[in-house]
Chains A and B, each alone.
Chain A
Amino acid sequence: MNDDTVRAEVRAWLAANWNAEQGLVEWRTKLAGSGWGVPSWPSRWYGRDLPEGFVPVVEEEFARVGAIGVAKTGIRMLAAATILAHGTDMQREKFLLRILTGEDTWCQLFSEPGSGSDVAGAVTRAEFRGNQWVVNGQKVWTTSAHKADWGLLLARTDWDQPKHRGLSYFVIDMKQPGVAVHPLRQMNGYASFNQVFLTDAVVPPEMIVSTVGDGWTVTNTTLMHERRGADGLRGWARGSDLVGRIHDEERAEVAVALEPYRWYPQRAGRVDLVMPRAIESGAIHDPVVRQEVAKLLIMAKSAEWTARRARTAKEQGKPQGPEGSLGKLAASNIARAAARVHTQIAGASALLAGADGLGAGVVAEVLLSVPATSIAGGTDEIQRNIIAERVLKMPREASEDTKRPFREVPRNTIG
């Protein structure tokens, strides 16, 4: 098996099966059955057991004919990876296909008002009463919870165990009376996330993922896939302009899924706008501005090349070097530098927003969205700890909270 044989095989399959005048779910069901939708997955579960290195080859062939892939929006692929790794066959049967076809939407119920960086400090409780789990607590920063069919829930099931050993991981039905979803408004005016209130919400016993008390292990699988995906986070956000019924359906799906992420490009600092704005405003003639623009572009370019080094190494199956863990921290530095340079270029116009603001408010949105970059998905501080401990092998700090029963650990009074 090599690039050419894989290419020939996928090409032949697409020639026989792909056309743009079929239904989206119909096509994806066929695609999932063929294994070409997620070729690196096990062949028993909608994949073909192909090494990661072949995935770009398959994607190229899909792109060549404009064929649509399996649904990848939102956190569905994190749910899929977690269920593949730790779920039962019943769970895989029930969820994986509908994840790939896009029929079911998922959300992640990890963070709480009292535990952000310290996710393992969750205090949402799940108690086994009668013949089911009963869940009470509050979750926060939940993207798309109002649209989700299913949630990945981290809850405490044993308060006498140390922190990390008293947690369990569940799949919870979001469409039930015990689950109330409220939007959470952010400093930039958007409301892309939700708070989820769980009041005697129920989970049947077969919907636990792995065993009681193993929730932290399972959570780490989800988080690992989240971090790994962060590099190409919005890679799937390309809306196509191809003609055909199935493309219309996909565009509608992408529009809904991307709604919460409309400001994400601004969150990253919109480095792409810096040179055009500097030239347009004439600020480029200011040598001080040129220095700052150059510092930003040097950082952004070097980070881009570092990400490509990491990706190339992964494709070649080489062990991951330090370059693979740095992207998120680099992105924070870049976003902050970009906000500073945008301010410098804008001058007094930086005072304005919305219709009166630069680029119909995009620059103002950059200034008010960038602070999220160094917090969301692991703060810069946590990221530095991860780099220091996992990449540089520096010792962990002595912990105050992991060796005694969780009920004795000091924690926030809110939440």
Chain B
Amino acid sequence: MKFSFSSEQEAFRESLRRFLAERSPTKEVRRLMETPHGWEREGWARLNAELGLTAVRIPEQYGGQGFGFSEQCIVLEEMGRVLLCAPYFSSSVLATGAILNAGGEAEKAALLPGMASGEVVATLASVEDCGSWDAAATTLIATRDGEGWRLDGHKSFVLDGHSADLVVVLGRAAGSAGEEGLSLFTVAGDAPGLARRALAVLDPTRKLARLAFRGVRAELLGEAGGAAAPFARTMAEAAVCLASEMVGGADRLREDALAYAMMRMQFGRSIATFQSMKHKQADMLLEVELAKSAAYFAAAALDDGDDDVVATASLAKAAASEAYTQTAIHAVQIHGGIGFTWDNDTHLWFKRAKASEVLLGDAHLHRERMMQAMITGSVR
């Protein structure tokens, strides 16, 4: 297991950080978050043309660069630092992951090149109104219809669901229950019978949509009835990716709160001289660094094909959920009154922290998942 980044990875991170700092200052974040989609095709295309980040983890035979999770998690950590407004997580993590894990050779060859270039923006629609992150809660019904399939039902909490060109949908056969009868499908974003509604969201830098399906024509992705395992794998990978994005945001927030404490004067001295402030900053550093280690380790574990990736992935997500939200709470507190204003940037990260804490399952859920995986593992 690797515990350090190679010099190539460090150099990649450095150039990416410079690029994103320039491309995504908070002024731009604030502009994009007020738009209906939360991102713009032009800026997205430029980003992909210059850096090819959408291609990072897609294998070369499908037009990608063939790197691993360690590299993709560097990308996500850096994007998380600047709150980049782009459909990267939906398309390059969730949808790409689902296609790589579930798709057959022909499907991957047909779908992935467009996503690798960034021309096609895809997302994954798995969660429904009940809000369960568990595939077994799926109620959307998929019915065979001649050569293809027809989908009826709904999906919710779909990242970039109203702006994606392609939607990967989790559905089930009528009469099936639990993890049986689950299949994945692909649907065009503008397919007839698909009604998409943007939801009002807590974190405006990341948009969600509700999708209603009424007899929507769909293509099967992978094996009919066999989606449970590839979907679970996709979710474990996504948890690690999200944890990486989160520790990037937490670290940035921590740094900004430190910089503010260093310049803020009260009672004739810098508030950074107060022990109550120093101890808080030390605790924040500790919590963020531990969460970073967990995210780095989990990404390396995915690349190494470890047996206990489910436990490790949930560990990383739980650690990041606690660390990011706690850091955001401290950051607002350290800024004092100004930290509660709209003009101050802290709330942008606070909202992303809260939303990310919940997305893909909160710390409670992931701690339970981790324990169940460990208990099963210790029996095995």
Contacts and interface: CB of A to CB of B under 8 A. Distances in A.
- Do A and B belong to a common assembly? yes
Interface of A: 275, 279, 284, 287, 290-291, 293-295, 297-299, 301-303, 305-306, 308-309, 311-313, 316, 318, 322-323, 326, 329-330, 333, 381, 383-385, 387-389, 391-392, 394-398
Contacts of A290: 367-368, 371
Interface in B238-284: 258, 261-262, 269-270, 272-275, 277-279, 281-283
Contacts of A311: 3
A388 B270 CA distance: 14
B363 to A, nearest CB: 9
13 contacts: A291-B368, A294-B318, A303-B290, A306-B293, A326-B285, A326-B286, A329-B286, A381-B279, A387-B282, A387-B286, A392-B282, A395-B272, A398-B269
Interface in B218-242: none
Contacts of A318: 4
B295 to A, nearest CB: 9
A322 B367 contact: no
Contacts of A291: 364, 367-368
B278 A394 contact: yes
B319 to A, nearest CB: 5
A298 B367 contact: yes
Given A302-B291, A305-B294, A394-B262, A388 B367 contact: no
A294 B296 contact: no
A304 to B, nearest CB: 8
B370 interface: yes
A181 B194 CA distance: 84
B289 A322 contact: yes
A105 B274 CA distance: 42
Residue in B272, B282, B289, B293 whose Cβ sees the most chain A Cβ within 10 Å? B282
B177 interface: no
A294 B116 CA distance: 37
B290 A294 contact: no
B370 A298 contact: yes
A275 B374 contact: yes
Contacts of A330: 286, 290
Contacts of B262: 394-395
A246 B54 CA distance: 61
Contacts of A313: 4
Contact of A295 (B261, B367, B374): B367
B289 A306 contact: yes
Given A297-B370, A333-B286, 11 more contacts: A275-B378, A291-B367, A294-B318, A301-B297, A311-B3, A323-B293, A326-B285, A383-B282, A384-B283, A387-B282, A389-B278
B260 to A, nearest CB: 12
B293 A392 contact: no
Contacts of B293: 302-303, 305-306, 309, 323
A383 B283 CA distance: 10
Q: Is the interface of B mostly helix, strand, loop or mixed?
A: helix
B55 interface: no
Residue in B258, B297, B318 whose Cβ sees the most chain A Cβ within 10 Å? B297
A398 B291 contact: no
Contact of B272 (A294, A301, A387, A394): A394
Contacts of B374: 275, 297
Given A294-B371, A298-B319, A305 B281 contact: no
Contacts, number: 119
B338 interface: no
Interface residues of B, number: 37
A388 B3 contact: no
B367 A326 contact: no
A323 B272 CA distance: 21
Contacts of B273: 394-398
B332 interface: no
A298 B261 contact: no
Give me the 7 closest cross-chain CB pairs, A-B, nearest first. A388-B278, A294-B367, A302-B290, A384-B282, A387-B282, A305-B293, A312-B3
A118 to B, nearest CB: 14
B45 to A, nearest CB: 36
A383 B275 CA distance: 12
A171 B161 CA distance: 73
A167 B165 CA distance: 73
Residue in A287, A303, A392 whose Cβ sees the most chain B Cβ within 10 Å? A392
B294 A301 contact: yes
B315 interface: yes
B375 A284 contact: yes
A301 B290 CA distance: 9
A332 B315 CA distance: 20
Given A275-B378, A290-B371, A323 B289 contact: yes
Nearest to B318: A298
Contacts of B367: 290-291, 294-295, 298
B23 to A, nearest CB: 26
Given A298-B315, A322-B289, A323-B293, A388 B281 contact: yes
A290 B274 CA distance: 38
Residue in B291, B294, B318, B368 whose Cβ sees the most chain A Cβ within 10 Å? B294
Contacts of B286: 326, 329-330, 333, 387
Nearest to B372: A290
Given A387-B285, A388-B278, A396-B273, A302 B261 contact: no
Nearest to B279: A384
Given A303-B290, A381-B279, A309 B315 contact: no
Contacts of A397: 273-275
Contacts of B3: 305, 308-309, 311-312
Contacts of A323: 289, 293
Nearest to B300: A305
B315 A301 contact: yes
A385 to B, nearest CB: 6
Contacts of A297: 315, 370, 374
A78 B85 CA distance: 53
Given A298-B318, A313-B4, A322 B375 contact: no
Nearest to A294: B367
Nearest to B375: A284
B4 A309 contact: yes
A287 B285 contact: no
B4 A279 contact: no
Contacts of A294: 318, 367-368, 370-371
Contacts of A392: 258, 278, 281-282, 285
Interface in B86-120: none
A265 to B, nearest CB: 21
A263 B239 CA distance: 39
Nearest to A287: B368
B282 A388 contact: yes
A385 B290 CA distance: 19
Contacts of B370: 294, 297-298
Nearest to A309: B3
Nearest to B288: A322
Nearest to B284: A392
A118 B282 CA distance: 20
Contact of B297 (A279, A305, A398): A305
